[in-house]
Amino acid sequence: MTDVSEIVARFEQFAPQNWAEKGDPVGLQLGSMQQNVHKLMVTLDVRPEVVAEAIKNNVDFIFAHHPALFRPIKKFDLAVPQNKMYSELIKHGITVYAAHTNLDNANGGMNDWLAGLLELTDTEILLPQREERLLKLAVFVPKDSAETVRNALTEAGAGTIGEYRDCSYTISGTGRFTPQADANPTIGNLLEPTEVSEDKIEVVFSYNLLSKIMRTMRAVHPYEEPAFDLFPIMESGVKYGMGRVGDLKDTMTISEFAEYCKTKFKVEHLRVVTADPTREIKRIAILGGSGGQFYTDALRKKADVYVTGDISYHTGHDIIASGLTAIDPGHHIEQVCKPQLQRLFKQWNNEYGWQIEVMQSEINTDPFMFI
């Protein structure tokens, strides 16, 4: 039986929690990481109607983009619809997990999906990119325990390099030590110099796994005091960041591009912020969600148009004054995550033999109606 923790562990190889923006409440929202999963539902938002849909479909795990708990609950008054929703989730044993800005920052995640909808080419990260911090552990293990330690480290998440898993390197040699009077040696006798045939196992892992990797190493290592080295690795981590910028296949006018966005994002209306709708454009920046404040990054990347949601009145004036054009198709275009997350979880379901059913919410959670 597959539980939430196993599914989340695989997802967080794709979009680690520490890639989220500071203060973003990603991760477990409600429920238990040990919840057995028979049916998983992906959704953009966790709203009462979405929870009712999950209950109707016997879902036991909701995986959402937007966190259900942005703010702490001060009083659990069930007259409040959101609190009643939490009560229903608990009552029906449904666990909720959210991947928000870590999914926005992930390579192959939200902003790549949006750029893909617009068929942008030669895309690059829009906001200043970041680099994952990597460490390398070199641990010395007696030969007859080497396979056990190596397998435990890779199971804990070490040994992932790009698209390769279970990566490690072994060097054989001789370890020497003299157990002192208060020692409890696995090999050798007190106060006697000892030589042991050992393997030096080297594995690379992300900094956010440091505590887990070290706990694992100590738990499975046969020595009372494991010998190991730990090194930072420079300029080798995955580069990630928010937003994308790239080129359209063909030049369009701003008016033509606005119609193109309506078709691609399946929206009936959008807002255009421009001084000249007839101007021809080709280079497009896009950032899912509420990204008006980052229009200067679109300028820095020499974009002709910036596509994002929730542009405010005064920011719109600033965008026009800067010479940039902006398209605001709304926050809800992030619904692209539903089919894409379903695709990912179905892929992993087949790869790891989870035997879970994966569905996407059919509820439209866009709060806006245009009349």
3-class SS string, the chain: CCEHHHHHHHHHHHCCHHHCCCCCCCEEEECCCCCECCEEEEECCCCHHHHHHHHHCCCCEEEECCCCCCCCCCCCCCCCHHHHHHHHHHHCCCEEEECCHHHHHCCCCHHHHHHHHCCCEEEEECCCCEECCEEEEEEEEEHHHHHHHHHHHHHCCCCCECCECCCCEEEEEEEEECCCCCCCCCCCCCCCCEEEEEEEEEEEEEHHHHHHHHHHHHHHCCCCCCEEEEEEECCCCCEECCCEEEEEEEEEEHHHHHHHHHHHHCCCCCEEECCCCCCEEEEEEEEEEECHHHHHHHHHCCCCEEEEECCCHHHHHHHHHHCCEEEECCHHHHHHHHHHHHHHHHHHHHHHCCCCEEEECCCCCCCCCCC
66 is in an annotated binding site: yes
CA-CA distance, 189 to 178, in Å (whole number)? 8
CA-CA distance, 263 to 257, in Å (whole number)? 10
334 is in an annotated binding site: yes
Instruction: Check: CB of residue 203 under 8 Å from CB of residue 137.
Output: yes
Strand order in the sheet with 61-64: 27-30, 95-98, 61-64, 39-43, 357-360
Closest C-alpha among 10, 25, 26, 19 to residue 238: 19
269 is in an annotated binding site: no
104 is in an annotated binding site: yes
Binding-site residue set for a divalent metal cation: 65-66, 104, 331, 334
Binding-site residue set: 65-66, 104, 331, 334
